[in-house]
């Protein structure tokens, strides 16, 4: 597989939101292009970092996919509490760009289970609460919903955080050898599990990630590392320009207010 020919070489996110998933954006984009799932379910959406990458990829590759976002949008003790404005911003972006290919379930994960038939989810992303018990429970309750030949993603499989009681790493280490798997070798880690025994023989991307040689996987690693750096630099540049715009706007406001105060004082002095 030629990494420089992967779709992510041209990928730029439509929106930059706060998300530690950024280092997986390019991989998520390529996975949708190669796998073309019919049904994507994300458990844990937050500001929409990973979700909007899936949606953007669906639009770009023209696959017949519906992406379902499941979250209370209340946040949790690990990700932090969310204000209502997060959900409003998420909805605004989703409705503007992805209304026809996406769906929202604002509820707890267990309440959404009945909305999906057994074996109907092709790509399941588990990124909710990150304790060992919560991830195990999400996996076990949602596994029957995943299709034969489906893929399950686990975020944060490399995180060691005892203070916040993270347990995805432990669960992933126990689980991964039961099935074909791949791991994004970056800061937080993304576990990719294949829910089947036979990979599509002509799918070069899936063949590489799940069965590639050490050399091929090393090349992929290096590629995603470079693309990640590019996406991070771009996000910083965008933040810089946004901050510059904000400074310009505030400077105008200050000048405006100063002149209003001066006028008021002048009027006061001259009316005496």
Ligand X SMILES: C[S@@+](CC[C@H](N)C(=O)[O-])C[C@H]1O[C@@H](n2cnc3c(N)ncnc32)[C@H](O)[C@@H]1O
> What is the per-residue DSSP string for 85-119?
HHHHHHHHHHHHHHGGGEEEEES-HHHHGGGS-TT
Name which of 9 and 15 has its Cβ closer to ligand X.
15
In the bound complex, what is the minimum distance in angstroms from residue 21's beta carbon to ligand X?
4
Reported residue count of the chain is 272
Name which of 140 and 202 has its Cβ closer to ligand X.
140
Name which of 42 and 180 has its Cβ closer to ligand X.
42
Name which of 36 and 106 has its Cβ closer to ligand X.
106
In the bound complex, what is the minimum distance in angstroms from residue 251's beta carbon to ligand X?
33
CA 75 to chain centroid, in Å, comes to 15
Determine the Cα–Cα distance for residues 15 and 248; give it in Å rounded to an integer: 22
In the bound complex, what is the minimum distance in angstroms from residue 63's beta carbon to ligand X?
20
Determine the Cα–Cα distance for residues 197 and 211; give it in Å rounded to an integer: 12
Name which of 37 and 128 has its Cβ closer to ligand X.
128
Name which of 37 and 212 has its Cβ closer to ligand X.
37
Contact 128, 142 (CB under 8 A): no
Name which of 161 and 263 has its Cβ closer to ligand X.
161
For residue 31, how many other CB atoms are within 10 A of its CB? 26
Cα-atom radius of gyration of the chain, to the nearest Å? 22
In the bound complex, what is the minimum distance in angstroms from residue 85's beta carbon to ligand X?
13
In the bound complex, what is the minimum distance in angstroms from residue 96's beta carbon to ligand X?
19
* Binding stretches for ligand X (CB under 6 A): 19, 21, 44-47, 49-50, 71-76, 79, 82, 108-109, 127-129
In the bound complex, what is the minimum distance in angstroms from residue 101's beta carbon to ligand X?
18
3-state secondary structure 12-60: CCCCCCCCHHHHHHHHHHHHHHHHCCCEEEEECCCCCHHHHHHHHHHHH
Helix (H, G, I), strand (E, B) or coil at 161: coil
In the bound complex, what is the minimum distance in angstroms from residue 93's beta carbon to ligand X?
13
CA 211 to chain centroid, in Å, comes to 25
């Amino acid at each position: 597989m030629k990494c420089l020919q992967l779709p992510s070489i041209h990928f730029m996110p439509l929106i930059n939101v706060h998300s530690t998933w950024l280092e997986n954006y390019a991989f998520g984009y390529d996975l949708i292009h190669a796998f073309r799932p019919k049904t994507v379910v994300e458990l844990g959406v937050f500001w929409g970092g990973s979700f909007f990458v899936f949606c953007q990829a669906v639009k770009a590759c023209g696959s017949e996919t519906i992406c379902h976002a499941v979250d209370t949008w209340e946040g949790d003790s690990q990700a932090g509490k969310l204000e209502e404005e997060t959900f409003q911003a998420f909805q605004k972006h989703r409705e503007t760009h992805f209304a026809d290919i996406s769906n929202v379930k604002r509820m707890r994960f267990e309440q959404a289970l009945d909305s999906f038939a057994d074996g109907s989810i092709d790509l399941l992303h588990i990124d909710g609460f990150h304790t060992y018990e919560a991830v195990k429970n999400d996996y076990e309750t949602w596994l029957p919903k995943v299709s034969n030949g489906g893929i399950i993603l686990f975020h944060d499989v490399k995180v060691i955080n005892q203070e916040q009681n993270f347990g995805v790493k432990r669960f992933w280490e126990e689980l991964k050898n039961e099935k074909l798997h791949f791991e994004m070798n970056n800061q937080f880690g993304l576990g990719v599990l294949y829910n089947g025994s036979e990979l599509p023989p002509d799918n070069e991307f899936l063949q590489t990630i799940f069965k590639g040689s050490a050399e091929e996987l090393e090349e992929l690693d290096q590629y995603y590392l470079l693309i990640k750096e590019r996406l991070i630099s771009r996000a910083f540049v965008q933040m810089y320009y946004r901050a510059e715009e904000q400074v310009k706007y505030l400077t105008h406001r200050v000048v405006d207010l100063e002149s209003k105060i001066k006028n008021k004082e002048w009027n006061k002095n001259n009316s005496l």
